Chains A and B, each alone.
Chain A
Protein backbone atom coordinates (compact mmCIF):
# COMPACT_ATOMS: atom_id res chain seq x y z
CA UNK A 1 0.00 0.00 0.00
CA UNK A 2 1.37 3.39 -1.00
CA UNK A 3 0.11 5.22 2.10
CA UNK A 4 3.10 4.29 4.19
CA UNK A 5 5.46 5.63 1.52
CA UNK A 6 3.88 9.06 1.88
CA UNK A 7 4.24 9.00 5.62
CA UNK A 8 6.79 11.62 6.58
CA UNK A 9 6.12 12.55 10.20
CA UNK A 10 7.90 9.40 11.31
CA UNK A 11 8.82 10.61 14.79
CA UNK A 12 5.29 10.81 16.16
CA UNK A 13 4.04 7.98 18.33
CA UNK A 14 0.51 8.15 19.62
CA UNK A 15 -1.53 5.84 21.79
CA UNK A 16 -4.27 4.28 19.68
CA UNK A 17 -7.07 2.26 21.23
CA UNK A 18 -9.52 0.31 19.10
CA UNK A 19 -12.73 -0.34 20.99
CA UNK A 20 -14.72 -3.39 19.91
CA UNK A 21 -18.32 -3.35 21.08
CA UNK A 22 -20.17 -5.59 18.64
CA UNK A 23 -20.55 -9.35 18.18
CA UNK A 24 -18.25 -10.94 15.59
CA UNK A 25 -21.05 -11.65 13.14
CA UNK A 26 -24.43 -10.11 12.49
CA UNK A 27 -22.77 -6.88 11.36
CA UNK A 28 -19.44 -6.12 9.71
CA UNK A 29 -18.14 -3.86 12.50
CA UNK A 30 -15.84 -6.44 14.07
CA UNK A 31 -14.25 -7.54 10.80
CA UNK A 32 -13.62 -4.06 9.44
CA UNK A 33 -12.37 -2.86 12.83
CA UNK A 34 -9.79 -5.64 12.74
CA UNK A 35 -8.69 -4.48 9.28
CA UNK A 36 -7.89 -1.03 10.71
CA UNK A 37 -5.97 -2.61 13.58
CA UNK A 38 -3.79 -4.59 11.17
CA UNK A 39 -3.01 -1.48 9.09
CA UNK A 40 -2.19 0.51 12.22
CA UNK A 41 0.59 -1.96 12.99
CA UNK A 42 2.51 -0.64 9.96
CA UNK A 43 2.72 2.83 11.53
CA UNK A 44 4.67 1.85 14.65
CA UNK A 45 2.17 3.38 17.02
CA UNK A 46 1.30 2.33 20.59
CA UNK A 47 -1.74 0.20 19.80
CA UNK A 48 -4.18 -1.47 22.17
CA UNK A 49 -7.54 -3.17 21.77
CA UNK A 50 -10.49 -3.02 24.11
CA UNK A 51 -13.37 -5.47 24.11
CA UNK A 52 -16.62 -4.66 25.82
CA UNK A 53 -20.34 -5.28 25.57
CA UNK A 54 -21.00 -7.96 22.89
CA UNK A 55 -17.49 -7.26 21.57
CA UNK A 56 -16.16 -9.83 24.05
CA UNK A 57 -17.75 -12.54 21.86
CA UNK A 58 -15.21 -11.72 19.15
CA UNK A 59 -12.55 -13.49 21.19
CA UNK A 60 -14.48 -16.67 22.00
CA UNK A 61 -12.85 -19.99 21.25
CA UNK A 62 -14.50 -22.49 18.93
CA UNK A 63 -16.23 -20.10 16.58
CA UNK A 64 -17.53 -21.65 13.38
CA UNK A 65 -19.02 -19.25 10.84
CA UNK A 66 -19.50 -21.87 8.09
CA UNK A 67 -23.25 -22.09 8.49
CA UNK A 68 -23.42 -18.32 8.08
CA UNK A 69 -21.44 -18.52 4.85
CA UNK A 70 -18.96 -16.10 6.38
CA UNK A 71 -15.26 -16.07 7.07
CA UNK A 72 -14.19 -16.99 10.60
CA UNK A 73 -11.69 -14.25 11.32
CA UNK A 74 -11.22 -15.01 15.01
CA UNK A 75 -7.84 -16.77 14.37
CA UNK A 76 -6.51 -13.41 13.14
CA UNK A 77 -6.52 -12.24 16.76
CA UNK A 78 -3.84 -14.87 17.41
CA UNK A 79 -1.65 -13.23 14.76
CA UNK A 80 -1.73 -9.79 16.41
CA UNK A 81 1.21 -10.74 18.58
CA UNK A 82 3.32 -11.05 15.40
CA UNK A 83 2.49 -7.42 14.69
CA UNK A 84 3.63 -6.41 18.20
CA UNK A 85 0.06 -5.74 19.22
CA UNK A 86 -0.20 -7.41 22.60
CA UNK A 87 -2.32 -5.09 24.71
CA UNK A 88 -5.77 -6.64 24.64
CA UNK A 89 -8.09 -5.42 27.39
CA UNK A 90 -11.39 -7.15 28.10
CA UNK A 91 -13.95 -5.62 30.39
CA UNK A 92 -14.72 -7.90 33.36
CA UNK A 93 -18.34 -6.78 33.65
CA UNK A 94 -19.05 -7.54 29.99
CA UNK A 95 -17.59 -11.04 30.37
CA UNK A 96 -19.53 -11.72 33.57
CA UNK A 97 -22.82 -10.50 32.11
CA UNK A 98 -22.40 -13.06 29.32
CA UNK A 99 -21.30 -15.92 31.57
CA UNK A 100 -17.83 -15.96 30.06
CA UNK A 101 -14.36 -16.19 31.53
CA UNK A 102 -10.92 -15.31 30.17
CA UNK A 103 -10.14 -19.06 29.86
CA UNK A 104 -12.74 -19.32 27.10
CA UNK A 105 -11.03 -16.75 24.92
CA UNK A 106 -8.83 -17.46 21.91
CA UNK A 107 -5.88 -15.31 23.05
CA UNK A 108 -4.38 -14.21 26.37
CA UNK A 109 -5.95 -10.93 27.51
CA UNK A 110 -5.89 -8.56 30.43
CA UNK A 111 -9.27 -8.55 32.16
CA UNK A 112 -9.94 -5.13 33.65
CA UNK A 113 -12.94 -3.72 35.45
CA UNK A 114 -15.05 -0.93 34.01
CA UNK A 115 -13.34 1.75 36.08
CA UNK A 116 -9.89 0.65 34.90
CA UNK A 117 -11.12 0.47 31.29
CA UNK A 118 -12.35 4.03 31.59
CA UNK A 119 -8.96 5.13 32.90
CA UNK A 120 -7.19 3.33 30.04
CA UNK A 121 -9.38 5.13 27.50
CA UNK A 122 -8.60 8.46 29.14
CA UNK A 123 -4.87 7.80 28.64
CA UNK A 124 -5.21 7.42 24.85
CA UNK A 125 -4.50 9.96 22.15
CA UNK A 126 -6.83 8.33 19.65
CA UNK A 127 -9.82 6.11 20.43
CA UNK A 128 -11.68 4.50 17.55
CA UNK A 129 -14.88 2.79 18.56
CA UNK A 130 -16.58 0.17 16.40
Chain B
Protein backbone atom coordinates (compact mmCIF):
# COMPACT_ATOMS: atom_id res chain seq x y z
CA UNK B 1 0.00 0.00 0.00
CA UNK B 2 1.13 3.53 -0.68
CA UNK B 3 1.07 5.67 2.45
CA UNK B 4 1.52 9.38 2.94
CA UNK B 5 2.02 10.95 6.34
CA UNK B 6 1.10 14.34 7.77
CA UNK B 7 3.05 15.53 10.83
CA UNK B 8 1.53 18.49 12.68
CA UNK B 9 3.53 18.58 15.90
CA UNK B 10 7.05 19.62 16.78
CA UNK B 11 9.93 17.32 17.79
CA UNK B 12 10.51 16.41 21.46
CA UNK B 13 7.50 18.55 22.51
CA UNK B 14 4.93 16.05 21.30
CA UNK B 15 5.01 12.31 20.79
CA UNK B 16 3.10 12.68 17.51
CA UNK B 17 6.46 13.52 15.90
CA UNK B 18 7.86 10.17 17.12
CA UNK B 19 4.74 8.17 16.32
CA UNK B 20 4.83 9.41 12.73
CA UNK B 21 8.38 8.13 12.36
CA UNK B 22 7.62 4.78 14.00
CA UNK B 23 4.61 4.34 11.74
CA UNK B 24 6.64 5.14 8.63
CA UNK B 25 9.46 2.80 9.64
CA UNK B 26 7.03 -0.03 10.43
CA UNK B 27 5.15 0.41 7.15
CA UNK B 28 8.40 0.35 5.15
CA UNK B 29 9.63 -2.71 7.08
CA UNK B 30 6.48 -4.53 6.00
CA UNK B 31 7.07 -3.74 2.37
CA UNK B 32 4.69 -0.79 2.01
CA UNK B 33 5.62 2.44 0.34
CA UNK B 34 5.79 5.77 2.17
CA UNK B 35 5.86 8.19 -0.71
CA UNK B 36 5.82 11.48 1.15
CA UNK B 37 5.90 12.88 4.68
CA UNK B 38 4.44 16.37 4.88
CA UNK B 39 5.48 18.55 7.81
CA UNK B 40 2.94 21.20 8.76
CA UNK B 41 2.19 23.50 11.70
CA UNK B 42 4.86 23.05 14.41
CA UNK B 43 5.77 19.85 12.57
CA UNK B 44 8.06 22.00 10.39
CA UNK B 45 10.55 22.10 13.28
CA UNK B 46 11.25 18.38 12.71
CA UNK B 47 13.25 19.47 9.65
CA UNK B 48 15.70 21.69 11.55
CA UNK B 49 19.18 20.17 11.27
CA UNK B 50 20.46 22.39 14.10
CA UNK B 51 18.78 20.11 16.63
CA UNK B 52 21.27 18.86 19.21
CA UNK B 53 19.54 16.44 21.54
CA UNK B 54 21.41 14.92 24.47
CA UNK B 55 23.72 12.00 23.66
CA UNK B 56 21.42 9.31 25.03
CA UNK B 57 18.34 10.64 23.24
CA UNK B 58 17.05 10.01 19.72
CA UNK B 59 17.95 12.49 16.99
CA UNK B 60 14.63 13.18 15.30
CA UNK B 61 15.83 15.16 12.29
CA UNK B 62 18.65 12.71 11.50
CA UNK B 63 16.25 9.79 11.84
CA UNK B 64 14.04 11.24 9.11
CA UNK B 65 17.04 12.01 6.89
CA UNK B 66 18.25 8.42 7.18
CA UNK B 67 14.79 7.09 6.37
CA UNK B 68 14.58 9.29 3.28
CA UNK B 69 18.06 8.25 2.18
CA UNK B 70 17.26 4.54 2.55
CA UNK B 71 13.77 4.53 1.04
CA UNK B 72 13.49 7.60 -1.18
CA UNK B 73 10.69 9.08 0.89
CA UNK B 74 9.96 12.68 -0.05
CA UNK B 75 10.19 14.91 3.05
CA UNK B 76 8.25 18.11 2.38
CA UNK B 77 8.07 21.10 4.71
CA UNK B 78 5.19 23.53 4.23
CA UNK B 79 6.54 26.89 3.08
CA UNK B 80 3.88 29.03 4.77
CA UNK B 81 4.17 27.25 8.11
CA UNK B 82 7.98 27.23 7.84
CA UNK B 83 8.36 30.94 7.05
CA UNK B 84 6.09 31.80 9.96
CA UNK B 85 8.42 29.84 12.28
CA UNK B 86 11.79 30.81 10.81
CA UNK B 87 12.49 27.42 9.22
CA UNK B 88 14.38 28.08 6.00
CA UNK B 89 16.39 26.19 3.38
CA UNK B 90 19.69 26.88 5.10
CA UNK B 91 18.72 24.95 8.24
CA UNK B 92 17.01 21.96 6.60
CA UNK B 93 18.26 18.46 7.33
CA UNK B 94 19.33 16.18 4.47
CA UNK B 95 16.44 14.94 2.37
CA UNK B 96 14.01 17.70 3.38
CA UNK B 97 12.68 20.29 0.95
CA UNK B 98 10.36 23.26 1.32
CA UNK B 99 7.27 23.46 -0.85
CA UNK B 100 3.63 24.47 -0.84
CA UNK B 101 0.50 23.09 0.79
CA UNK B 102 -0.51 21.81 -2.62
CA UNK B 103 1.99 19.00 -2.06
CA UNK B 104 -0.16 17.81 0.84
CA UNK B 105 -3.40 17.83 -1.13
CA UNK B 106 -1.65 16.22 -4.10
CA UNK B 107 -0.34 13.32 -2.05
CA UNK B 108 -3.77 12.95 -0.43
CA UNK B 109 -5.09 12.29 -3.92
CA UNK B 110 -2.25 9.99 -4.96
CA UNK B 111 -1.73 7.87 -1.84
CA UNK B 112 -3.93 4.97 -0.79
CA UNK B 113 -3.93 6.29 2.79
CA UNK B 114 -2.99 9.63 4.28
CA UNK B 115 -2.28 9.27 7.98
CA UNK B 116 -2.27 12.33 10.24
CA UNK B 117 -0.11 12.58 13.36
CA UNK B 118 -1.10 15.52 15.51
CA UNK B 119 -2.57 16.61 18.80
Contacts and interface: CB of A to CB of B under 8 A. Distances in A.
Interface string B99-119: 111111110111000101011
A4 B80 CA distance: 16
Contacts of A6: 106
Interface of B: 6, 8, 40-41, 80-81, 99-106, 108-110, 114, 116, 118-119
Contact of A43 (B6, B99, B105): B105
A3 B40 contact: no
Interface of A: 1-4, 6-7, 9, 12, 14, 16, 28-29, 32, 35-36, 39-40, 42-43, 45, 125-130
A128 B114 contact: yes
Q: Please report whether the interface of chain A is mostly helix, strand, loop or mixed according to DSSP.
A: mixed
Contacts of B103: 3
A45 B105 contact: yes
B101 A35 contact: yes
Given A1-B102, A32-B41, A42-B102, A130 B108 contact: no
A126 B6 CA distance: 12
12 contacts: A1-B100, A3-B106, A4-B102, A12-B109, A32-B41, A32-B81, A36-B101, A39-B102, A42-B105, A45-B105, A126-B108, A129-B118
